[in-house]
Amino acid sequence: MKPKELRPLDDGALENVLQDTYKKLFWLRFKATTEKVESVAEKKKLRQDVARIKTIQRERELKAVQ
């Protein structure tokens, strides 16, 4: 997901997207060990999505403190 798509979401929705991304990443890793994965780049994409979401959460946390 792009940051432009994530920024308008509220904190609860952002947390739900993060949990869904973690689940997809888990199943992709699980699938990779048991069978062939169609897209190897998908793992990198999901990890980048997790980093984007956590960055936005941290920005909001810092903004709330100020």
So what's the pLDDT on residue 37?
A: 79
The full set of domain ranges for the chain reads 33-66
The CA angle 27-2-41, to the nearest 5 degrees, is 40
> Which region holds residue 38: left if phi is over 0, alpha if psi is between -120 and 50, else beta?
alpha
Q: Which residue has the tokens 């994530």?
A: 6
So what's the pLDDT on residue 66?
A: 84
Q: Which residue has the tokens 């869904």?
A: 20
Dihedral sign (CA 20, 22, 23, 24): positive
So what's the pLDDT on residue 18?
A: 97
Mean pLDDT by 10 residues, the chain (66 residues): 93 97 94 84 95 97 92
So what's the pLDDT on residue 1?
A: 84
So what's the pLDDT on residue 46?
A: 96
Alpha helix stretches (DSSP H) within 1-66? 3-6, 11-34, 41-65
So what's the pLDDT on residue 63?
A: 94
